[in-house]
Amino acid sequence: MKHYIIHRFLVMLPTTMGVLLLTFLLFNVVGGSPAEVVLGKNATAEALAVFDARHKYDMPLILGRWSGVRALQNVSSTRLKFDRRSAMAEVPLGYGLPAGIYRLNASRAFLSLRRIADNFDDEVMIDAPGEAVVFTVPRGWKVVRLLADGVAGRNLSLEQKNSAWWDTQFVHYVCSLFRGDFGVSTEYRVPVTRIIKEGVGPSLSLTIPILVGGTLLGVMLGLLCAAWRGGWVDHVILVVSTILMSVNYVIWVLAGQFILAFKLKLFPIWGYESTAYLVLPVLIGIFSGLGRDVRFFRAAILDEVYKPYVRTAQAKGLSGMRIMTRHVLRNSLIPVITYVSLSIPFMFTGSLLLESFFGIPGLGSVSINAINSSDMVVVRAIVIMGALFYQVVNLITDLCYAWLDPRVRLS
């Protein structure tokens, strides 16, 4: 089993990297520019560039040596103004280019440099042997004016060179994850790990009782249905289960708050101050999913009831209760564990509706607030941790299979 666990962890590495890559690309495409989200669309190009440089957003996305800069982004040559003295096109820079190595798709460039320390100006003319001009801005200087030649019929673009082809956003992000650093929330300006730590406790205090209570109650009712299959107990439980499945989840929440909390004053409606605030959402969480659980557990147990070993046990004179609890239940636990394992990952993100309706500051509430405020750093961290948690749960589920059924071989 030790070799199997090591093998599964090794298999999880490429899967995890695939999840990280897919999530990174998805949130970079969908989320837009983090600088514009934080600073607003009316922020200056220089302020956006400073934000990008501070958070490594000015680097290539996956791999590469060149990345675009905010000072100039695909300007058509037909919109450029020409300098009368030099007969060269005036390149409209959004801000003074800081130190670095740059590439401009032109045949010649004229740079007007300014030393930051004393505002001393200097001028440099650069010719390109190919189709692009590569120039270096020394440390302590900045480009305040840029003229270009040979740009007719082009979309002018300016790129900055990074230190190495692996010096990219994705590589920096993966390295920070290995250090346990998920970044800084753009909404709250605090580390994401701090936000997650504060939300894990409330989420688990809500979802663990729902999962354990719902599973135990569902298995007990499923055993009753299987023991008295076809009888009035079975029919009543199935009818009630169908009714529970037919009622929308939101109706359960609204009815519970209005009747039990507002009218009867049995439970508090909003907040997370003590255990009493969790009783009503836990009850709603259990009963809203109980119908689905009972029907699945009943079907799983009935699959075992008609197998030959049950008739053998009956022929030996074993009581029906002992057969159901000692033999049938144990052999039906594999599909039950499979069913439960699919629900465990949702414990991490919590119940979005329950936390929102009852004011519980868990990860579900954090996720909704992050989505509403476009805080993609927090959303991305929660999605990645949920995906990793799901892989660990799958490994634990496979180990449970081997423990319950000796016929299962781990390889």
CATH fold of 66-161: Jelly Rolls (2.60.120)
Instruction: Check pLDDT > 80 for residue 247.
Output: yes
φ and ψ at 32, to 5 degrees?
75, -160
**Which part of the chain has CATH 2.60.120?**
66-161
d(CA 192, CA 182): 6
Which segments within 220-364 are labelled E, that is strand? Answer: none
d(CA 284, CA 257): 10
For residue 23, what are the CA distances in angstroms to 19, 227, 373? 6, 47, 19
For residue 95, which of 43, 41, 42, 142 has the smallest C-alpha distance?
A: 142
**Which part of the chain has CATH 1.10.3720.10?**
192-404
Whether the full predicted model's pTM is greater than 0.85, yes or no, is no
pLDDT digits (tens, 9 = 90+) for 190-215: 899 999 898 888 988 998 999 999 99
pLDDT at 318: 79
pLDDT at 87: 73
- At 167 the three-state DSSP class reads coil
d(CA 33, CA 43): 12
Instruction: Check pLDDT > 80 for residue 153.
Output: no
d(CA 199, CA 314): 51
Instruction: Check pLDDT > 80 for residue 21.
Output: yes
- DSSP letter at 269 equals S
pLDDT at 280: 94
- Chain Cα centroid distance, residue 279: 29
d(CA 256, CA 264): 10
pLDDT digits (tens, 9 = 90+) for 345-363: 666 655 778 888 898 988 8
For residue 218, which of 279, 278, 288 has the smallest C-alpha distance?
A: 288
φ and ψ at 50, to 5 degrees?
-65, -40
CATH fold of 192-404: MetI-like fold (1.10.3720)
d(CA 411, CA 403): 14
Q: Can you read off the two tokens belonging to residue 343?
A: 């629900």
Q: What is the 3-state secondary structure (H, E, C) of 13-67?
A: HHHHHHHHHHHHHHHHHHHCCHHHHHHCCCCCHHHHHHHHHHCCCCCCCCCCCEE
- At 410 the three-state DSSP class reads coil
